[in-house]
Structure 1
Amino acid sequence: MDNNKEMIEGLVSQILDDYHDDKIINQQALFSQPDKEAVCDLLSKLIKIMYPGYFKGTSFRYYNLDSQIAVLLEDIMYNLRKQVVLALPQNPKYRSLSHHELVNMSEKISNDFFKRIPKIRALVETDVAAFFDGDPAAYNYNEIILCYPGLLAITTNRIAHELHLLGVPLIPRMMTEHAHSKTGIDIHPGATIGKNFFIDHGTGIVVGETTIIGDNVKVYQGVTIGALSTRGGQKLKGVKRHPTIEDNVIIYAGASILGGETVIGRGAVIGSNAFITSSIEPGARVSIKNQELSIRTGERKELVASEMETDSSWFYVI
């Protein structure tokens, strides 16, 4: 037992000493950044504001919907201000501000955000309608709001995007990454998305920071709207790296659309598994050249790896 105690004490001392060097990961100011759990709780409550009457509250007693919303709004306002005060110094331009100045700025940002809630809800309303109109498997609006991961992802983005536009660091990304972990859909809070956005199925979708998406766009699972290359690292900060998708575009499963100068024109249809790095004209139909389906019966029921590598029918061509 004494030997184990000495060993543990030695390891603890060694680890504590390691905490005092200049490693990036040695952040010990626990209360100097936003609380991720608190931010996720804020997001959950904001979603209840977006869809009043759909999600039950367990922390509040209320007699009617009006009193429930009033209590929720008061709670959100108080806690959002607290988290924004902690988040602002994450941006170097705010680090010289006094605590009093940070509090005042947090209050202004929070007030401005609350003024935008009707705008966010108006966009969310169009999304719910787009989901229902676009999916014959949807039984009713309740099913969409309560069950569809794509709607959760876009609703989260609508909320986070407004905080992003207000200059709030870190918190918008915490929100969208929380939605990413729950839905498999990764939409950066910087992405600008028009009304009537429909995500069908959704798993594996990636939408980059500087993406611009117009109205009435429909995106299927596995789609990437991303950058051509990020090898430039921080030098690319602020540069438009991701595509522009104009109105009424449909992007089918597995397609990749890359590059900040890439524009998918109004009304275009991008077929499954297409790989696009240049602009597409409005109304165009982009598809993969048909594969040759080879079915072999008898003892050889499937192609061996060497045949797959040499058979030209295994390659996709736009």
Structure 2
Amino acid sequence: MSNRDYSLSDVVALLVESGDNASTFYRYSDDVPMPSVEVLSEIVEDLRTVLFPGYYGPSEITPDTMPYYIGSTLDRVERHLADQINRGYCFVCDKNKVDRCQDCETRSRNMARAFITKLPEIRELLLSDVEAAYDGDPAAKTHGETIFCYPSIRTMTNHRIAHELYKLGVDIIPRIIGEMAHSDTGIDIHPGATIGRSFFMDHGTGTVIGETCVIGDNVRVYQGVTLGAKSFPKGDDERLIKGLPRHPLVEDDVIIYAGATILGRVTIGKGAVIGGNVWITRDVPAGAQIVQSRAMQQSFSDGGGI
């Protein structure tokens, strides 16, 4: 039968038949809806208005009205987030064929409240990121410009929200929030990555930071930087072993220029400068400067670097 001979009923029958034995083809649950990307997007935007009031949300907020606005917004966020956390938890339970948790709604409400209590800490970290962006880019005329315009701040807002949810053990929701920023900015940060204060991604497009990466304070990276894994060990069943530390450790005050690729559980020492387009799979000492110079690469490799 050629393609032109297919009727609509033929196409439907073939699609159903081909999916009968494929667990990834569709997800069925008669009483548990999926997490909603649309609702999660609204939650993140509400949180953005709380973390940066006036820049996002109503611009006419005053010091007198701010407590009421923030309070009502967080009340809505907490309720909606608890529902999404519950949906994400049930999504994973169904996938793993685990018995339903009898107190999953209570668990989800507790997680949402625990997350809300972390918002002052998230705000403090984001303000340090804003300061780093303003200080690190001569083109930035005001701090507000970095909040409103810079992909680094937009991405880090999503990431710091997602990372707190990840630490609380929330299923799938942190990854969705991280992928929202990825779609918006081209910056891909796994919610498991631990990132210190005053972090700035200049331009940022194409930057990738893996799940088990740990980044210190006052670190700056440029576009196209990869902090990734070098190898993926397999278990006896030939499947990849999940959760192993496999991404770089970047210590305080490091600068990584555009296009650099750093792979594996290596340490980039404090104050090191990594030049553009270099490939690193071994530890870099504190204060080292690694550039694309044949003489410097040979000198450094003799000491155990690149």
Identity %: 41
Tell me the secondary structure at the aligned position of residue 235 of structure 1: coil
Q: Where does the alignment leave 5 or more consecutive residues of structure 1 unmatched?
A: 292-317
> Are the structure 2 counterparts of residues 94 and 148 from structure 1 closer, same or farther at C-alpha, using a change threshold of 3 Å?
farther
- Relative to 1, partners in 2 of residues 1:173 and 1:22: Cα closer, same or farther, differing over 3 Å? same
Q: 1:310 maps to which residue?
A: none
Q: Name the residue aligned to 2:300.
A: none
Deviation of 1:290 after TM superposition, in Å, equals: 6.7
The alpha-carbon deviation at position 21 of structure 1 amounts to 3.1
Give the 5 Å matches for 1:168-179. Answer: 168-179=170-181
Q: Equivalents in 2 of 1:282, 1:94: separation in Å?
A: 48
Matched, 1:11 2:11: yes
Alignment of 1:1-318 (within 5 A): 7-29=7-29, 31-57=32-58, 64-92=65-93, 95-98=98-101, 100-230=102-232, 232=234, 234-260=239-265, 262-289=266-293
SS of alignment partner, residue 7 of structure 2: helix
Task: Judge which range, 82-91 or 204-213, deviates more.
Answer: 82-91
Q: Distance in 2 between matches of 1:78 and 1:249?
A: 40
Match of 2:301 in 1: none
Question: 2:109 & 2:239 partners in 1: Cα distance?
Answer: 31
Deviation at 1:68, TM superposition (A): 2.0
Q: Please give the TM-score of this superposition, normalised by the length of structure 2.
A: 0.86
- Could you tell me how far apart the structure 2 residues matched to 1:189 and 1:43 are? 14
Distance (whole Å) between structure 2 residues aligned to residue 42 and residue 178 of structure 1: 12
Q: Distance in 1 between matches of 2:282 and 2:130?
A: 31
Q: CA deviation at 1:19?
A: 4.1
CA distance in 2, matches of 1:12, 1:116: 48
Give the Cα separation in 2 of the matches to 1:200 and 1:124. Answer: 15
**What displacement does 1:141 show?**
1.2
Task: State the alpha-carbon separation in 2 of the partners of residues 94 and 241 from structure 1.
Answer: 29
Q: Give the CA deviation at 1:231.
A: 6.2
Give the aligned residue type for 2:211. Answer: E
- TM-score, normalised to structure 1, is 0.83
Change in CA separation of 1:94 and 1:10 when aligned onto 2, cut-off 3 Å: closer
Equivalent residue of 2:227, what SS?
Answer: strand
CA contact (8 A) 2:174 2:191 kept: yes
Question: Is 183-192 or 34-43 further displaced after alignment?
Answer: 34-43
CA contact (8 A) 1:20 1:26 kept: no
Contact 2:268/2:285 (<8 A) preserved: yes
Give the Cα separation in 2 of the matches to 1:192 and 1:23: 33
The 2-side partners of 1:235 and 1:247 are apart by: 31
Cα deviation code 1:150-171 (max 9, x no counterpart): 1111111111000000000100
User: Which amino acid is 2:277 matched to?
Assistant: N
Q: Deviations over 1:261-306 (max 9, x none)?
A: x000000000011100000000111111179xxxxxxxxxxxxxxx
SS of equivalent to 2:108: helix
CA distance in 1 between counterparts of 2:92 and 2:26 reads: 19
What residue ranges of structure 2 are gaps of 5+ in the alignment?
296-305
- The answer to whether the Cα contact below 8 Å between 2:46 and 2:57 also exists between their aligned partners in 1 is no
Please give the root-mean-square deviation of Cα atoms over the aligned residues, in Å.
2.4
- Counterpart amino acid of residue 280 in structure 1: V
How far apart are 1:78 and its partner, in Å? 0.8
Amino acid at match of 1:278: R
Q: After TM superposition, give the deviation of residue 97 of structure 1 in Å.
A: 3.7
